[in-house]
Amino acid sequence: MDSIWTKTAQLPQFEPLRSDLNTDVLIIGGGLAGVLCAYKLARAGVDYALVEADRICGGITKNTTAKITSQHGLIYDKLIREFGAEQARLYLEANQGALEEYRALCKNIDCDFEEQDAFVYSIDKRWKLERELKALHRLGFRAEFVEQIPIPFPTAGAVQFPRQAQFHPLKFVAAIARGLRIFEHTKVLELGPGRAVTDRGTVSADRIIVATHFPLLNKHGGYFLKLYQHRSYVLALENAPDVHGMYVDEDKKGLSFRNYGGLLLLGGGSHRTGKEGGGWQELERFACRDYPDAQITARRATQDCMTLDGVPYVGPYSRRTDGLYVATGFNKWGMTSSMAAASLLTDLVLGRHNPYTELFSPSRTMLRLQLAANSLESALGLLTPTVPRCPHMGCALKYNAAEHSWDCPCHGSRFGEDGALIDNPATDDRR
């Protein structure tokens, strides 16, 4: 399994931590969100450090489809109904603001940034598209309905967002990470008030930002109930058509399309981590049928933290953890969400007002239908009398034959056949 991004970019390397360290702000986790936090804090003149257990952007970021857009499925009608029009407008504004930040930054960075329109289509639910369009017009956003799109099956139409973007995420990170105070191969073993114990030394900090994809502290914030993880798959196809845009199905199990260079990135096969799904086989069947002249040049899989209500958790880790912050739950839209999160967290660290604090607050209500589903999965995982089990919270692991891994359906940890940890929230190998 490989990624076209890792094949076509080289990230700078950083030394591990060599001794104990004092700093004003510690960032834990070197994915895109963590690196953007470091970049923004550096520009603000803040004393900071970032520690990463492996290599920066060596996890989820390297496997993204790298769409920079405020169109996150058919979300705005849902946000208006559940949060109200003002909060929905703030969500749109935060993500459009993130897009504009990328647009400005990428003017001086060679990262294959290009404007593309974004589309959410539906196979047979035109009414959903019309309802979303009405919600967007209520928010004052210039979205349009499109009857036909250049994908190889009939649809009920699509909602179009103009002037969104796509880029090469690792080329972007390679540019902004140079010169930052980053320590790679430095794993956090214990996290307490004002300090993080790593395998290389102890870091003392007034404020700590946890940007580890799935938060690493279980005893605060209830993230093991508020989050679940979802896997998705991508094939890079040569000799496939240029679709001239970015396309995603409103159905979570549908397909996505975008081009990079001479390749078509075909995504889909999604499922909850630890459950069965279409995977690469579904994509291969589709490509064989609908793009018979195409050849597969790369494939990758990734997984995303999904929140109870579709909005990321960004802000204070919990009500009882002063000086501790978190960014998680990007719901498959990590590019714009990472930038919005980094902007918000920088403001919180500096004590500045930010209009999106309440919207993204991790302490907002948990009373959503998804909470019941997450609780049921956890209960089933704990009660299933099989081995092996996940060291995170003891759930039974399921074997993933397609990827030769043991996956946790409760919280999404994954392990190789040899027991080596692949994905968190677990922090140790499976014994």
Structure tokens at 227: 């989050």
Average pLDDT over residues 357-370: 95
Average pLDDT over residues 4-31: 96
Question: pLDDT at position 2, please?
Answer: 72
**How many Å apart are CA 107 and CA 394, to the nearest integer?**
48
Residue 131 has pLDDT above 90, yes or no: yes
Question: End-to-end alpha-carbon separation of the chain, Å?
Answer: 25
Residue 123 has pLDDT above 70, yes or no: yes
Output the average pLDDT for the chain.
95
Structure tokens at 311: 């909005």
Average pLDDT over residues 134-161: 97
Question: pLDDT at position 277, please?
Answer: 87
pTM (two decimals): 0.96
Residue 360 has pLDDT above 80, yes or no: yes
Sequence-distant (6+) residues with CB within 8 A of 231 are 270, 271, 272, 273, 277, 301, 302, 303, 407
Enumerate the domain spans of the chain: 4-64+171-226+309-360, 230-302, 369-422
Question: pLDDT at position 283, please?
Answer: 96
Task: Count other Cβ atoms within 10 Å, centred on residue 107.
Answer: 8
CA-CA-CA-CA dihedral for 179, 14, 342, 76, to nearest 10: 120
Residue 361 has pLDDT above 80, yes or no: yes
Could you tell me what percent of the chain has a pLDDT over 90?
Answer: 90
Range 281-311 burial, b when 16+ CB lie within 10 A, else e: ebbbebbeeebeebebebbbbbbbbbbbbbb
Average pLDDT over residues 246-254: 95
In CATH terms, the fold of domain 4-64+171-226+309-360 is FAD/NAD(P)-binding domain (3.50.50)
β-strand pairing of 256-260 with 263-272: antiparallel
Structure tokens at 219: 């005893």
**How many Å apart are CA 296 and CA 259, to the nearest integer?**
14
Question: pLDDT at position 1, please?
Answer: 58
Could you tell me what percent of the chain has a pLDDT over 70?
Answer: 100
Question: pLDDT at position 381, please?
Answer: 87
Average pLDDT over residues 18-36: 98
CB 425 within 8 A of CB 224: yes
3-state secondary structure the chain: CCCHHHHCCCCCCCCCCCCCEEEEEEEECCCHHHHHHHHHHHHCCCCEEEECCCCCCCCCHHHCCCEECCCCCCCHHHHHHHHCHHHHHHHHHHHHHHHHHHHHHHHHCCCCCEEEEEEEECCCCHHHHHHHHHHHHHCCCCCEEECCCCCCCCCCCEEEEEEEEECCHHHHHHHHHCCCCEECCCCEEEEECCEEEEECEEEEEEEEEECCCCCCCCCCCCHHHHCEEEEEEEEEEECCCCCCCEEEECCCCCCEEEEECCEEEEEEEEEECCCCCCHHHHHHHHHHHHCCCCEEEEEEEEEEEECCCCCCEEEECCCCCCCEEEEECCCCCHHHHHHHHHHHHHHHHHCCCCCCHHHHCCCCCCCCHHHHHHHHHHHHHHHCCCCCECCCCCCECEEECCCCEEECCCCCCEEECCCCEEECCCCCCCC
Average pLDDT over residues 409-428: 92
**How many Å apart are CA 313 and CA 326, to the nearest integer?**
7
For 225, what's the count of Cα atoms within 13 Å in the CB-facing half-sphere?
A: 16
**How many Å apart are CA 129 and CA 45, to the nearest integer?**
45
Q: Please give the single-letter amino acid code of residue 421.
A: L
Question: pLDDT at position 142, please?
Answer: 93
Instruction: Give the least confident one: 88-92, 105-109, 209-213, 426-430.
Output: 426-430
Question: pLDDT at position 182, please?
Answer: 98
Structure tokens at 236: 């890079």
Average pLDDT over residues 153-182: 98
Instruction: Give the least confident one: 205-209, 278-282, 323-327.
Output: 278-282
Question: pLDDT at position 3, please?
Answer: 84
Question: pLDDT at position 163, please?
Answer: 98
* Helix 85-105 with 76-83: angle, nearest 10 deg: 140
CB 73 within 8 A of CB 248: yes
**How many Å apart are CA 136 and CA 169, to the nearest integer?**
28
369-422: which CATH number, 2.40.10.340, 3.40.640.10, 1.20.1250.20, 2.102.10.10? 2.102.10.10
β-strand pairing of 201-210 with 324-328: parallel
